[in-house]
Homo-oligomer: A and B are copies of this chain.
Amino acid sequence: INIFFSSTGVSADLPSWNNTSTKSAIVSFVKKVTQEGSSDFVPPELRIAVFDNDGTLWAEKPAYVQLLFAIDEIKRLAPEHPKWQKEQPFASILKEDFHSLLTLGKADRLKIISTTQTGMTDTEFNRVVNSWLTDAKNPLTGKPYRNMVYQPMHELLEYLRANGFKTYISSGGGVDFIRALSMSFYGIPPEQVIGSRFKLRYEDDDGHPQIITTDKLDFVNDGVGKAIGISQVIGLRPIFVAGNSDGDLQMLEWSTSGKGPRFGMLIHHTDSKREWSYDSGSKVGHLDKALKAAKLYGWTVVDMTKDWAVVFPQSKVTTP
């Protein structure tokens, strides 16, 4: 079957979505908010759609991509830092002690990230991330990260944009990391990425003004922070919002309790064959409270097994 064109006549816009009630719910929401004269019509400037990133737009197993990147960076930079051989958490990384790595605490994760991803300008950091992405592969699937993006969600982003929506990412991950790839992976420009962030410092020692990312944490865009981050940057409640874990709970609650038509979407990782099956038992992408809230609020739960005809891109994906 040709997965890129629907032959059912229902909708050619979301070819990798099966014709289930989930797809119908998406299409009928978009139709009603874009139909001029309808009581549910939403003017284009209010058509804000916000997506979580890890586990919503791309896979998050065995660990968040940003952390896998940081681990590779520690290895790459180790020759310049002989002390790391004896200093935790660096020593575990260099010894490839995967058990220790998978159980890293918050402080250690932050240390690894600030060591590899601060102290430079965003331009410099972009270069490092994109150089890494050229060769890096998901350790479980052996696929490049570009091919670990969910094909149905890629189509959903394009479908919403084609219908006048402005698409945003709101992630617990670092804003700089996602900005380095958001345009080429998702067609989302850097200014439409909201994430956790470090404080910035203005430097002008040599007449060449630069802004450097410091290693002081400024804002954690998770849980309540996700709703606050959106309010701070966008200044509006999104009308469409998608997530996959309890970290998205408040963002979903706040967005979908605004006035007028709202769409809440929760990706449920049910597919142990084509992806991974996990929810309340998983540390990464822990989903429990938000799944219960979905019923209460009427959010659409995407059952990956039933709703997605395809999970990952089938052919080699090139930059959109």
Which B residues are in CB contact (< 8 Å) with A104?
A: none
A48 within 8 A of partner (CB)? yes
A235 and B45: CB pair below 8 A? no
Min distance, Cβ A48 to any Cβ of chain B, angstroms: 7
Name the B residues within 8 Å of A41 (CB-CB).
Answer: none
Contact A232 B197 (CB under 8 A): yes
Q: How far is the CA of A235 from the CA of B177 in the complex (A)?
A: 11
Residue of B nearest to A189 (CB): B45
Q: Bound state CA distance, A253 and B183, in angstroms?
A: 27
A233 x B202 contact (CB < 8 A): no
Report the interface size for chain A: residues with CB under 8 A from the other chain.
34
A111 to chain B, nearest CB (A): 23
Once bound together, how far apart are the Cα atoms of A101 and B231, in whole Å? 32
Most buried by B among A179, A197, A210: A210
The interface centre, meaning the residue of A197, A208, A235 with most chain B CB atoms within 10 A of its CB, is A235
A191 proximal to B (CB < 8 A): yes
Which residues from B are CB-within-8-Å of A183? Answer: 45
Copies in the complex: 2
B234 A190 Cβ-Cβ under 8 A: yes
Q: With A200-B231, A228-B202 in contact, is A253–B191 under 8 Å at CB?
A: no
Docked Cα-Cα span, A207 to B52, in Å, equals 23
B235 touches A175 (CB 8 A): yes
Q: Are B231 and A122 in contact (CB under 8 A)?
A: yes
**Contact flag A257-B227 (CB < 8 Å), given A202-B250, A232-B200:** no
On whether the beta carbons of A48 and B253 are closer than 8 Å, the reply is: no
A197 to B233, alpha carbons, bound, how many Å?
Answer: 11
Mask: chain A, 173-213; 1 = CB below 8 Å from B; 0 = not: 00110010001000001110100010011101000111100
- List 21 contacting pairs A-B, 8 Å CB cutoff, sorted by A: A45-B183, A45-B189, A122-B236, A175-B235, A176-B235, A190-B235, A190-B236, A191-B233, A191-B235, A200-B228, A202-B224, A202-B228, A202-B250, A202-B254, A208-B257, A209-B227, A209-B254, A210-B254, A211-B227, A211-B231, A233-B233
